[in-house]
Amino acid sequence: MSENDRNNLSKSIPFQQRRAKSADEFALQILNDENLKKKTLLNGSHEIIQEYNDDYICAPLPRTNNRPSARTCWRSRPVFAPSPKCNFGPKGTLKKIQNNDQLIVIQDPSTQRLHWISTPNHILIIRKPGPTTLKEFQTLIGKLLRRHLNVYIESSDQEYLSVDNNSDLKKYAEQFIVFDQGDLPKIDLIICLGGDGTLLHASSIFQKSCPPILSFSMGSLGFLTPFDFKSHEKILNEVLAGNVAVLLRSRLSCTINKKTSDNTSTPTTPDISSRTNDTIKLDHEDNKTCLVLNEVVIDRGPNSYLSNLDLFINDRFITKVQGDGLIISTPTGSTAYAMAAGASMVHPNVPSMVICPICPHSLSFRPIVVPAGIELVVKVSEDTRLSAWLSVDGRNRLELNQEDSIKITTSVYPIPSICRFDQLGDWFESLADILHWNLRKPQSSFDIDEENQSNEKSDSQEDENKNSSLSETDDLSKQLAL
């Protein structure tokens, strides 16, 4: 099936009615086949079923040995959530596609654990720049090389490692490699030494499928980095053996459409792999998208006027944003800039996006949480006074002029973050220890209050008795003196 046929088929169906359906084996037994009209389109081993009565397209992945194969799927809006039961009462159910063998039941996030298909051999180490992580960086490299693993480092860290002065580097020189973009498919595991910014940098490097990330907290905050480097050897043994809990942190797919002189939009991609805050240089021939782990921010930048933005959801105009700007956040980013702007904190397993205004010029414009499968478009209004500015994950900035737009949706490539305990325990521990969530002196009970009151009464009574006895003693001494 050609790309044009896909596009034509996609346009023939209303956007807001396209969605993926879950399946239930029992429900398929009571499905009424007479009301189901389907059209099968073959694309290699992919089978896409169009159901006219329900107006949706589902493109399930094929199965191999009762496991879904790792082939590319035409489903572009995933939902990481438990597969719900589809039977409602004795007779109610959802209409579904028939080929149950090709359906994927989405796994409960609380049961997601890392499994290695084969032994991991290629390890990429990304560290926080500066001398604070240098000692641990050198220690980790030596231990990984002695395990006969191939160790990759960034080119900026090469100057801190001297082959002449390091016996491990000299002995295992062939296993010590400087990382470049051509090594992306080889990496089996990423180890981050630093804070949340180091994890964001790792996400920016892998703009498609990302290997599992093991994060050691060595930065300023460390909300996303749960592990302590003191126990790194034990942790490495557990991770390399597999069967550790993994949290899939969803990312946003962001595509910028710049209006050209002939009133057409040209897709372009911001370069977020750099650690600097320089202005983004555009390449109008680049038709890719960038993946964002925390948030996409459109604000007024250095301008003194309000931002004037139009917000669309699934091709429907929702509202006009007038204020300092707008934050489109992932659940992971809901504890970052969005939280500071007043949005609710959302657990990373919740399939959603957070829409949060920045200082809106309206008392009723509150942050909202929307489903992960929708498509957002933020457009700079035609009647705006000045330009707006875009930043992704706090990196770099791009100026947006009138009628420039940004298309945002959930990516199919999450960040598999290795958990210290489990998906829930790590998050709530970070809320308590890092953000001091709901930290308050506990209120005393009624029994303790009554006990304190009785103690106070007894103390006051004793003081009165002492005072009365002292006064009597003084009177007696005065009489004896006379």
Q: Give catalytic residue positions.
A: 196
Query: Measured between alpha carbons, how far is 288 from 409 in angstroms, rounded to an integer?
Result: 14
In three-state secondary structure terms, 72 is coil
Query: Measured between alpha carbons, how far is 155 from 126 in angstroms, rounded to an integer?
Result: 10
| 447-451 contacts, C-beta under 8 A, 24 or more apart | none
Cβ contact 357:457 at 8 Å: no
Question: What sign does the dihedral 78-79-80-83 (CA atoms) show?
Answer: negative
Tallying the residues shown for the chain, one arrives at: 482
Query: Measured between alpha carbons, how far is 416 from 421 in angstroms, rounded to an integer?
Result: 15
Report how many helices (DSSP H) and strands (DSSP E) the chain contains, helices first. Answer: 9, 26
